[in-house]
């Protein structure tokens, strides 16, 4: 590695706050110059370890991902080949202030080393002179918590009447956008939004549509859009509100900020998938016993006093013979066929589940007519009796016990006990039948 002093003399004339000399082969560095704000970095050592240390102790949180991605050694080499030698990020000073830093780098010693320099800088949008009529963002920015490295932390305040706006610096300081609110919305739709949402996005942010929408929703609204950033799609939640202008209480300003909810949605999808797996019977794909009983208990808790529901427990007659005579694979196909037939026979709002083994349950919400249920059960049994598996006729019959629950006074445990008792009566009297309980039991067929 070259002697740092030769590099140090070359950059003395410039206002650098950090100068590193990086060996591309060993991936180690020497610190040629550093201000007190960088005193946590050792004078020399592993470059990637120093990069992580700087990101955790110096770099502004929402810039950490950008900082680590852009300044890792592989990224520096790629950038030098493309002649892209400038990276902007924000850091904390020793006093806790946030400042912008411009990092530049160049190849040295015939490409065997890289010189990396950090210089205080501010992007144009952070120091640009405020245009007349542009709303003041400071009162909102003081109270706005910025800096979560998993969020897209961008917000703005706009005066829709004058089409002026002020914004916080973008997470990517190399991105610049037009000056008026209308121009920015158009630029965003053309350059960042996925194509299929552009028309809706432009209509949504049209003040003639947006302001009445906010007023109908008490001044607040949340809209979801999808961005295409590099090769990745990001789901964004735009939160909007109408707030009084601190300088003129009679005037309202549009306040909006955006959150990247991609990770949260992925987590939610995985959680829902896991929840579904815990709720469903692995073989048949319908609700398992626990989830079915929980759903039934919840419905009984809110069932109107003047409405009734019906619980059916269905048992396959002599199911053991399917396994003994034809094998367990055939027995499994019998179970899955019954589950599919139950789902197609009853309504979508009814609860269909596997109670365990060769028993199923159906819970009919808003039950009104036992005659209609009996007709449906006869259709079900006729379909099962005609079951054919790989060319083999395998008629299926059911024993069914039922119990009626009225209003919210019914206890789920008592309802299951009555339905199970009715099922026992059917089996005792020869199977292949239907008995249900109200005040007294009545044979259905």
**Once rounded to an integer, what is the mean pLDDT over residues 323-341?**
94
User: Would you state the pLDDT for residue 83?
Assistant: 74
Lowest mean pLDDT among 18-32, 116-130, 246-260, 270-284: 116-130
Nearest to 260 by CA among 152, 149, 169: 152
User: Would you state the pLDDT for residue 267?
Assistant: 65
Q: In this model, does residue 95 exceed pLDDT 70?
A: yes
**Once rounded to an integer, what is the mean pLDDT over residues 408-425?**
86
φ, ψ for residue 276, nearest 5 deg: -60, -40
Higher pLDDT, 239 or 268: 239
Q: In this model, does residue 174 exceed pLDDT 50?
A: no
User: Would you state the pLDDT for residue 316?
Assistant: 96
Transcribe 232-266 into DSSP letters: EEEEEEEEEEEEEETTEEEEEEEEEEEEE-HHHHH
What is the Cα 402 distance to its own chain's centre? 41
What is the residue-averaged pLDDT of the chain?
82
Tokens 């400042």: give the residue.
99
**Once rounded to an integer, what is the mean pLDDT over residues 62-73?**
86
In this prediction, what percent of the chain has a pLDDT beyond 70? Answer: 80
- Rounded CA gap, 64 and 147, in Å? 10
What is the Cα 262 distance to its own chain's centre? 5
Q: In this model, does residue 312 exceed pLDDT 50?
A: yes
**Domain topology for 125-265:** Beta-Lactamase (3.30.450)
Tokens 């987590």: give the residue.
267
Spatial CB neighbours of 138, under 8 Å, sequence gap ≥ 6: none
**Once rounded to an integer, what is the mean pLDDT over residues 437-445?**
67
What's the per-residue H, E or C state across 269-333? HHHHHHHHHHHECCCCCCECHHHHHHHHHHHHHHCCCCCEEEEEEEEECCCHHHHHHHCHHHHHH
**Once rounded to an integer, what is the mean pLDDT over residues 245-274?**
74
CATH number belonging to the domain at 4-122, selected among 3.90.1750, 3.30.450, 1.10.3210, 3.40.50 = 3.30.450
The domain ranges of the chain are: 4-122, 125-265, 280-443
- Rounded CA gap, 229 and 251, in Å? 35
What is the pTM assigned to this prediction?
0.45
Structurally, at CATH architecture level, domain 280-443 sits in: 2-Layer Sandwich (3.30)
**Quick check: do 125-265 and 280-443 share a fold?**
no
Dihedral angle of Cα 324, 328, 334, 338, to the nearest 10 degrees? 120
Q: What is the DSSP letter of 193?
A: B
Q: What is the Cα gyration radius of the chain?
A: 35
Spatial CB neighbours of 89, under 8 Å, sequence gap ≥ 6: 59, 60, 63, 66, 67, 70, 100, 101, 103, 173
φ, ψ for residue 393, nearest 5 deg: -75, 120
In this prediction, what percent of the chain has a pLDDT beyond 90? Answer: 37
């Amino acid at each position: 590695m070259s002697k740092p002093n030769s590099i140090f003399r070359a950059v003395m004339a410039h206002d650098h706050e950090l100068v590193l000399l990086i060996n591309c082969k060993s991936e180690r560095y020497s610190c040629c110059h550093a201000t007190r704000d960088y005193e946590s970095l050792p004078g020399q050592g592993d470059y990637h370890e120093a990069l992580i240390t700087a990101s955790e102790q110096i770099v502004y949180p929402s810039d950490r991902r950008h900082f680590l991605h852009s300044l890792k050694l592989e990224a520096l080499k790629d950038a030098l080949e493309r002649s892209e030698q400038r990276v902007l990020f924000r850091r904390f000073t020793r006093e806790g202030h946030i400042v912008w830093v411009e990092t530049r780098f160049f190849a040295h010693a015939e490409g065997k080393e890289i010189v990396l320099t950090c210089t205080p800088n501010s992007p144009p949008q952070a120091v640009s002179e405020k245009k007349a009529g542009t709303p003041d963002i400071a009162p909102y920015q003081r109270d706005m918590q910025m800096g979560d490295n998993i969020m897209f932390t961008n917000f703005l305040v706009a005066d829709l009447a004058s089409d002026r706006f002020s914004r916080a610096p973008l997470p990517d300081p190399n991105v610049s956008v037009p000056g008026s609110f209308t121009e920015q919305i158009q630029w965003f739709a053309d350059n960042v939004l996925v194509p299929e949402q552009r028309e809706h996005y432009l209509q949504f942010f049209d003040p003639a549509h947006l302001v009445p929408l906010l007023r109908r929703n008490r001044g607040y609204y949340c809209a979801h859009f999808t961005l295409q950033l590099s090769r990745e799609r990001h789901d964004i939640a735009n939160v909007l509100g109408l707030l009084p202008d601190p300088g003129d209480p009679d005037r309202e300003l549009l306040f909006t900020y955006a959150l990247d909810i991609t990770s949260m949605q992925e987590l939610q999808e995985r959680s829902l998938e896991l929840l579904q797996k815990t709720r469903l019977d692995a073989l048949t794909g319908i609700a398992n016993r626990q989830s079915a009983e929980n759903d039934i208990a919840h419905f009984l808790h809110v069932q109107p006093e003047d409405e009734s529901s019906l619980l059916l427990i269905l048992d396959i007659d002599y199911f053991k013979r399917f396994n003994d005579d034809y094998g367990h694979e055939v027995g499994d196909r019998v179970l899955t066929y019954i589950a599919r037939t139950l789902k197609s026979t009853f309504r979508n709002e009814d609860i269909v589940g596997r109670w365990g083994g060769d028993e199923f349950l159906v819970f009919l919400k808003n039950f009104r007519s036992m005659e209609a249920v009996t007709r449906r059960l006869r259709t079900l049994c006729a379909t099962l009796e005609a079951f054919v598996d790989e060319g083999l006729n395998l008629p299926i019959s059911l024993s069914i016990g039922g119990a009626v629950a009225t209003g919210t006074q019914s206890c789920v445990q008592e309802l299951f006990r009555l339905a199970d008792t009715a099922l026992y009566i059917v089996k005792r009297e020869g199977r292949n039948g239907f008995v249900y309980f109200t005040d007294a039991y009545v044979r259905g067929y």
